[in-house]
Structure 1
Amino acid sequence: MTRIVYYTAATLNGFLADSNHSLDWLFAVDDAEGPDIGAFMDAMGVFVEGSSTYEWVLKAENLLAEPHKWQQYYGAKPTYVFTSRILPVPEGADVRFVSGAVADVLEEIKAAAGELDVWVVGGGDLAGQFLDVGALDELFITLAPAALVSGAPLLPRKVGADRLTLRSASQQGQFAVLNYEVLNPDVFVVPGAGAAGEDAGEPQ
């Protein structure tokens, strides 16, 4: 069964990026013995990103000028980007732009993954929208030895211990890796839950 997984690196105090959307704090960490992201990606059939995450990846990896890098990272697997804007696409990349509520495209995303899983790459609000509709199954959080005073939060939602069960905790180099199972009710409705678009604030 296809599972939806939120895998991300965060600071000790729960930020994904600083107030300037920079990941300099993460790149400063020695990751020689860090998590094996390649093995994780092999188990994923679809990648899901918010618009800010997608734009950051394009810029940080210079993917528009060097589109061959996209194949190295993502291969032929589709990437769904939640946005209501028109954004550029690297040549040869399978990027599918969607807008509106996560629930509206959930079945399409899962079908595209086939027998593999779905990776919610980021940001935290988009992962929160999957959580809102009871569609997020698992969390992998790699905590780095760093802290920020402000920035993009890991998961901007109120989540109680009744929703999360710790499956494993391990040290991988400088990172502490926490894996949580998300406990979802059969029917989960969030009154007034926002859609994933500019009117509700695009997911990061």
Structure 2
Amino acid sequence: MTRIIFDTATSLNGWIADEANSLEWLFAVDESGLPQDRLLPGGATVLVEGSTTYEWVLREEALLEQPTKWQEFYGHKPTFVFTTRTLPVPDGADVRFVSGPVPEVLPQLRAAAGDGDIWVVGGGDLAGQFLDAGALDQIGLTVAPVALTGGAPLLPRRLESDRLRLVSAAAYGQFARLVYEVLPL
């Protein structure tokens, strides 16, 4: 059964990007002790992200100028980008632009995922929209030893403890890894 997973890195105080929508703070942390897969969801066959996340990755990794790098990050998995704008696509990348409410797009995402999982890469508000739709099954957090003064919040929704069940907690070098199951309403 397809699960929808929000899996991301976060600062100690709950920011997934700084005020400039940058992740430089994350990549400055010593990564020794992290597994080679960097704790990414292995069963994901579809990726979902918002336009801010998509544009940041394109820019930071120069994926338009070096489109072969796309495969290093995303492989051949379809990547759905929620946006209302026309955005560039690296040559050879399977990027599908969608817009509208999450419930309307869910059938398309589930069909593309087949028996695999759907990974909501970012951002936090998009993950919140999946939560609002009752479609978020798991939250995986890799907590970095960094505190930021502001930026993009991890999950700008109220989510009470009665909706979360801790599945695992572990230390990986400087990082803490937490995985929660999101319980249905």
Give 1:120's aligned amino acid. V
Name the counterpart of 2:83. 83
**Per-residue deviation, 1:184:** 1.4
Relative to the length of structure 2, the TM-score reads 0.96
Which amino acid letter does the alignment assign opposite residue 175 of structure 1? F
Structure 2 partner of 1:121: 121
Deviation at 1:127, TM superposition (A): 0.2
Segments of 5+ residues of structure 1 without an aligned counterpart are 186-204
What is the distance in 1 between the residues matched to 2:154 and 2:91?
A: 31
Q: Is residue 95 of structure 1 aligned with residue 95 of structure 2?
A: yes
Is structure 2 residue 184 aligned with structure 1 residue 184? yes
Aligned ranges 1:51-200 → 2 under 5 Å? 51-185=51-185
Are residue 20 (structure 1) and residue 38 (structure 2) matched?
Answer: no
Aligned partner of 1:50 in structure 2 is: 50
Cα shift at 1:37: 3.2
Distance in 2 (CA, whole Å) between partners of 1:135 and 1:36 is: 29
Q: Give distance in 2, aligned partners of 1:175 and 1:95.
A: 31
Cα distance in 1 for residues equivalent to 2:80 and 2:7: 16
Aligned to 1:194: none
SS in 1 for 2:161: coil
Q: Secondary structure at the match of 2:57?
A: helix
Structure 2 runs not aligned, ≥5 long: none
Give the drift of 1:42: 3.8
Structure 1's consecutive aligned runs of 4 or more residues displaced over 4 angstroms after TM superposition are: none
Report the secondary structure of 2:54's partner residue. Answer: helix
Change beyond 3 A, Cα 1:163–1:39: closer
SS at match of 2:162: coil
Matched letter for residue 83 of structure 2: T
Q: Is the partner of 2:9 in helix, strand or coil? A: strand
Name the % identity: 61
Matched positions, count: 185
